[in-house]
Amino acid sequence: MKRAEANGVTAANAQERDAYAHPDYINLLEKLRQATETATLYRLEFKMKEWEIEVWRTKHATRRAEMNIR
């Protein structure tokens, strides 16, 4: 917005429009989108590994319980 004001744009809404359309801001938003996508992917992969561990634990607990029944 300061860049727009330095170029003679005095209205706040026009400055804001200029700021939102600036390539630096658009680039920042794209990098933020990519970072969010990567973080979400890692979080989901981590959750899947947790589920795999729980399945393994359940199977082994069932085996141990079956051994005690015999």
| pTM given for the model | 0.63
Three-state SS for 10? coil
Contacts (Cβ under 8 Å, ≥6 apart) of 9:
15, 18
Model confidence band, residue 5 (pLDDT cutoffs 50, 70, 90): confident
22 vs 27: CA distance, rounded Å: 9
Residues 25-46 pLDDT 10s = 999 999 999 999 999 999 999 9
